[in-house]
Amino acid sequence: MSLPAIAIANLAFRWRPADAFCLKLANATVDAGKSLFLHGPSGSGKSTLLNLIGGVLLPERGSVSLLGQPLGEMSASRRDAFRADHLGFIFQQFNLIPYLSVLDNVLLPCRFSARRARRVSEPAAEARRLLAGLDLDPGLLARPAAELSVGQQQRVAAARALIGRPEILIADEPTSALDAGRQVAFVELLLSEARQAGSAVVFVSHDLRLAAHFDQSLALAA
Ligand SMILES: Nc1ncnc2c1ncn2[C@@H]1O[C@H](COP(=O)(O)OP(=O)(O)OP(=O)(O)O)[C@@H](O)[C@H]1O
Ligand SMILES: [Mg+2]
């Protein structure tokens, strides 16, 4: 049996020692290639949980293991390298580099991770394939990211997260700026690419109508 892509056990996190725990989660796993829909009211800790899964934050109690490796046992630099090698992250505000072209933005993970670069035979061709699969007009590839619409930037952020087939794909409310029809289309394209790559997906959204597209759902309480 293969290890889960993400395994969370007895997690408790708070921002300051004097605060109450802002997040408690007994157990959650996401198997390789499976998808989890994460929802809950604003302030319930969704983004905090994504940062714990990404090893950007560390829990006070409990553990997060990715691909069988406990993040809490890695040094900070090892965690950074592990993240670059194995995680694709789509941020809510996309975090594209505004002056870089669409193509160069998508290629960034291959610059930061030799492993991601090795997993694609021709990075530029793979970037083009992903962007076409995500329905981005090929005429935009040389444009600076700053000149794209929000929906176009979202596709670039998704392609950047997917390049080099990371085992884990994390998406923080990437659809909130889109209308309902485009949200569903985007989720379907993203999940289809993730499935082909065998990536486990954690996807945050307020929009419960999207939950049906995912293998499992997890609700965080306020
Ligand atoms: N850097 C921080 N320092 C201190 N507290 C924080 C920090 N970031 C978030 N919090 C607090 O942690 C709690 C959870 O925040 P989080 O951003 O995870 O919520 P969320 O579920 O993602 O909300 P939203 O749906 O609005 O994005 C909130 O009460 C928030 O105020
Ligand atoms: Mg959030």
List the domain boundaries for the chain: 33-55+75-219
Using CA atoms, how far apart are residues 44 and 206, in angstroms rounded to an integer? 11
Residue 151 is predicted with a pLDDT of 87
Ligand 1 closest atom vs CA 50: 18
Q: List ligand 1's pocket residues with C-beta within 6 A.
A: 15, 22, 40, 42-48
Measure 31 CA to ligand 1 centroid, in angstroms.
Answer: 26
Q: Which CATH architecture has domain 33-55+75-219?
A: 3-Layer(aba) Sandwich (3.40)
Ligand 2 centroid, distance to 162 Cα (angstroms): 21
Burial class (CB in 10 A: 0-12, 13-18, 19+), 40: middle
Ligand at minimal distance from the CA of 56 is 1
DSSP string, 48-64: HHHHHHTTSS--SEEEE
Total length of the chain: 222
Find the helix packing angle between 180-197 and 150-162, rounded to 10°: 10
Contact present, 13 and 21 (Cβ < 8 Å): yes
For the residues of 7-62, what is the DSSP string, one character each?
EEEEEEE-SSTTSPPSEEEEEEEE-TT-EEEEE-STTSSHHHHHHHHTTSS--SEE
Q: How far is the CA of 2 from the centre of ligand 2 (A)?
A: 31
Q: What is the pTM of this model?
A: 0.94
Instruction: Quote the tokens at residue 180.
Output: 């309902």
**Tens-binned pLDDT, residue by residue, of the chain (222 aa):** 678 999 999 999 999 999 999 999 999 999 999 999 999 998 999 999 999 999 999 999 999 999 999 999 999 999 999 999 999 999 888 899 999 999 999 999 999 999 999 999 999 999 999 999 888 999 999 999 999 998 899 999 999 999 999 999 999 987 776 777 778 888 998 999 999 999 999 999 988 989 999 999 999 987
Residue 186's pLDDT is what?
87
Query: Residue 1's pLDDT is what?
Result: 61
Decide the pairing of beta strands 23-30 and 6-13: antiparallel
What's the pLDDT at 92? Answer: 84
- Ligand showing the shortest atom-to-Cα distance for residue 220: 1
CA nearest 6: which of 50, 49, 67, 90? 67
Q: How far is the CA of 45 from the centre of ligand 2 (A)?
A: 7
CB 126 within 8 Å of CB 197: no
Q: Using an 8 Å Cβ cutoff, are 201 and 36 in contact?
A: yes
pLDDT at position 195: 93
Ligand 1 atom closest to the CA of 16, numbered from 1:
4
Nearest ligand (C-alpha, residue 207): 1
23 Cα–ligand 1 center, Å: 10
